[in-house]
Structure 1
Amino acid sequence: MLTDIAMFLQDQGELAMGSRLKALSERLYAIADEVYRASGQTLEARAFPLLRYLQVKGPATVTEIAAAIGQTHSAVSQAVAKLRRGGWLVRRRDRADARRGLLELSAEAEARLDRLGPQWRAIRRGVRAAAARCGGDLLGALAAFEREVARGELTREILAEHARIDAARVEIHPYRADWREHFYRLNAGWLERYFALEPIDRQVLSDPDTHVLAPGGAIFFAALDGEVIGTCALLKEAPGVYEVSKMAVEPGFRGRGAGGLLLDAVIAEFRRRRGRTLFLESNRKLAPALRLYERAGFVHHPAPRPGSHYARADVYMVYEGKR
């Protein structure tokens, strides 16, 4: 049931739009918090924009964060202070400019956020479904949406979606044309965070049919409950010589084994083709990825690969099989 205050604000029509959206915002925060609590997480929904920005974009200043998430410098500063006390954030000096203080996620925060993909996917699905049911003009849709929230239907739907997603197993699929956009999206995300999109990256990611599949390569996708969360490519360098490339798993879904399954699929395809050499190039910054490659049977070579295509590559590994 709607409260008398909610009914009054509805009667004010367009004049109360801001107040209604604020009230709805408070309820949506509460729903998200309920979803997090139901799955044993301690994240507060109000902190999501700030933490998600740092997870996706990497270290940033308070000013940069405030501009990106549409909040005041003061509001972000207050949130940062609270999150630092809670162990979510650490502050360090910018190596390029000692006068600038950068905020970044703590190691513990990175680990926490890397487990929240199922909750975030459930919230997306629940809100999308509720909004679709509401239809009509904006004010009518808002009223219908408020009723959905007040009746608890949105909460129930999100919790049900989360239970289903969390129980699902990661599945590996071969290349699908309708998933091509995810090949670009997932790889561009981590490249822009840690390095930069180089010309060869843009070329391959924008047209994988021409630059990966046509020369004899392969692309695999990891999906959870029907939605893509990861990808990896097998590039044909020369007859019998292949490269593992463009491995990416969506932030929030790491730790579910998607990376290992993708790598297994690429290695299996390499063997199926009776390849002679399988190599990869990476960077020392990407320690979790390097550990994954090592476990899979890739061995470090003492120097970067001669003639490397990538300016960022300072690691060269060749597959020798699991020992």
Structure 2
Amino acid sequence: MSGDILKERPALFLASRLKRLAERMQGDVAALGGAVGLEIQPAQYSLLATLDAYGPQTIGELSQAMGLSQPAITRNAAKLAQMGLVAIDRLHKDQRHKTVSLTARGEADMACSKALVWPQVEAAVRDLLAGMETQFLAQIDAIETALAQKPLHQRFAPAGLRLLPFSDERAALFGAINREWIEAMYRLEPADLDVLDHPRARIIEKGGEIWFVEAQGLGVVGTCALLKTGEGQYELGKMGVLEAARGRKAGEFLLREMIARVRALGARRLYLLSNSRSAAAVHLYEKLGFRHDEGIMREFGARYERCNVAMLFPLSANGAKAAA
């Protein structure tokens, strides 16, 4: 007879253990709702409750308020619209500006839920957590706060790698590292030279950032820039690792740090421009959650002659790869 691997490796499978617990509890909530004729699934309640409490919201506002990715919000809202519980108004072409609101049926089902389902659920959960409710919920708050301050990926950085900020002394390294990979695969374009020769003026003084990764025994081996291209909007660019340092996971370490940095800045949009010839880089972007985006290509792709890949990162709590 096999054992319970989730219990045997509790730290490794913490997220899966919590998901299993959630599914068991949500199954009971669904049964309570079904008993009073409601079709609402437990996972749909948080979106409905947000609309019920705060009124109509855009996809972007719901994403920020609920801490979920915009694609996840869009999928959930679409299902609720099919059920006739919400209405989605396309005010703009931009997905984030679709406004979601409760329909009359949605309002009625929420009133029924709050009267007949939620009180039973709250009473049952309090009974389940008898004697440990305050401590347990405080621990969940502490975990969420700790993850917001320092995500998991920052807690297991590859040995020997360290993140360093921009300084005028390192400005020359920014140009040298990028020149190596650009000249090896493409040609330096005017847009490249302008940024590489004037990193402080073109990036730092315009609200952007430049970071470096240092490898023990080798010094600075990689760099990346966050170019501010609008309010709450950044382009991930000029990311490169010296050929001599390949294989040390320096690029992945740097990219994870940049994603975390953009989140810390409260950005609403992170995108990048690349070329399919940089297959290893594109694969890394995909691995960490970037998605190919035709809208980004149309909006920014003309900046470089070599650009034939444009990607967008879903800036949310669930955007990055989840733990096991």
TM-score, normalization by structure 1: 0.47
